[in-house]
Amino acid sequence: MPDSEFPATPPRILEGAHGRPVPGRTEMVIMVAALMALNALAIDIMLPALGEIAESIGLTGASPEDSNRQQMIVFAYVLGFGAPQLVWGPISDRFGRRTPLFVGLIGYSLTALLCIAMKDFHALLAARFLQGVFASGARLVAVSVVRDLYAGRRMAGFMSLVMTIFMVVPMIAPAMGQMILFVAPWEWIFGVLALFGTALLAWTWLRLPETLPEEARNPLNISSAASSYLAVARSRITFGYMCASGVIFGALFSFIGSSEQVFRDVFKQEETFAFWFAGVAGALACANFFNSRMVEKIGMRRISHAAMIFFILMSSALALVTYYFGESLLWFFPMFALTFACFGLMGANFSALAMEPLGKIAGTASAAYGFATTTVSSLLGILIGSYYNGTTLPLIIGFACLGVGALMIVLITEKGKLFSSR
């Protein structure tokens, strides 16, 4: 598809971009995917190392409850990633997209190096929290740039392509982490994160122009920010899908946080953990690619609503099979992969639906959406992860319950009508 078929506005020379036009669709997709991958890489690359990190800082105990504390190395980052977006949003709407992006990337790389020096559990959590704070700026700018250039189904299609490429990272990141552990201590993983952040800083500095013109910027003050967030809350569609995303993605974070434990303790697949995790992530990538090809034909609501119902049915079926027949990769992996794939049919569509009514305050809207899908999701993920007891049942039942919760929110948002062609 040529570039001209996709953007809501034609590529143009933008102020503050050193005379460079908006890159073509292919480069933009890869660039946005890489920016969003900062977050996934910071989480997934260290999943194989969680046990080693826990042991090195004295966390490993005999009970699942003691072992569950290692999940906080993941969730500290996610918590730092969530709430600061509420600040980054108004900042990006006032000063444009480039400056917040560069601050975020520099901070991300520096805090990655800081994590290397942290040998105490709580100090490491603090450094991870700060890394999440800076990563949230980069993520927010990435989504805001997309909303500056695209709208509606085209935005959903663009984001699905982004997510298809982005999902390569969760597929390979655990393997990367495992390879690093074969030749070096876990601290080197943070060195890789610092290098990745620095490389993205150079790329975006040279190639990404400013996408928010001066005349479209909002003043930075408390009343303006409050007014913008009030507009988000007043939009039934934006607020509804923001809340639904926050609930449903709690399931995703619960799996990410406990995945290493599940495959190590339940299925005795510690050495092949990266392979199984890649398989689950691959199912999600395939779903994102399908959505990118079909969303403009079928519609965001039809695809995401059908995926949500399938998510509930499949996770419920897996819970019943596991309860009556016990734990086995023979049925857990294919059924869980199909369940997990539903995130690829909900994520980009929920995001586009939430952002569409608020194009004039895309930064603020993206901030509110990011807050819901990270802070709320991570808290729900922590809650479900804390119930890990050496079996997969708490995880799977958590999936089903959050799916039902998200469906209820969507039903209220859509006034009881699903599968609209809008």
Residue 2 lies in a domain: no
Between 157 and 402, where is the model more confident? 402
Residue 89 lies in a domain: yes
Distance CA(216)–CA(206), nearest Å, equals 23
Distance CA(191)–CA(228), nearest Å, equals 38
Whether pLDDT at 89 is above 80: no
Q: Predicted confidence band at 12 (pLDDT cuts at 50, 70, 90)?
A: very low
Average pLDDT over every residue of 371-390:
84
Residue 421 lies in a domain: no
Residue 58: give the domain boundaries: 23-413
The CATH number covering residue 280 comes to 1.20.1250.20
Average pLDDT over every residue of 52-74:
70
The domain tally of the chain equals: 1
Give tens-digit pLDDT for 189-206: 999 999 999 999 999 998
Average pLDDT over every residue of 108-123:
90
Give SS3 for 92: helix
Instruction: Enter the DSSP assignment of 264.
Output: I
Whether pLDDT at 64 is above 80: no
Give tens-digit pLDDT for 390-415: 899 999 999 999 999 999 999 999 98
Whether pLDDT at 291 is above 90: no
Longest dimension (CA), the chain: 65
Helix H or strand E segment including 228: helix 222-234
Residue 253 lies in a domain: yes
Residue 305 lies in a domain: yes
Q: Name the most confidently modeled range: 2-6, 170-174, 283-287.
A: 283-287
CA angle in degrees (0–180, nearest 5) for 381-384-385: 80
Give tens-digit pLDDT for 125-137: 999 999 999 998 8
pLDDT attached to residue 19: 52
Whether pLDDT at 61 is above 90: no
pLDDT attached to residue 9: 42
Distance CA(231)–CA(223), nearest Å, equals 12
Distance CA(33)–CA(41), nearest Å, equals 12
Per-residue tokens: 275: 């392979």
Whether pLDDT at 7 is above 50: no
Between 374 and 44, where is the model more confident? 44
Residue 240 lies in a domain: yes
Residue 273 lies in a domain: yes
Residue 315 lies in a domain: yes
What is the SS3 assignment for 51-82? Answer: HHHHHHCCCCCCCHHHHHHHHHHHHHHHHHHH
Contact in structure between 252 and 74 (CB atoms under 8 Å): no
CA angle in degrees (0–180, nearest 5) for 157-336-383: 95
Give tens-digit pLDDT for 214-257: 877 877 777 766 777 787 778 888 889 989 999 999 998 888 88
Give SS3 for 45: coil
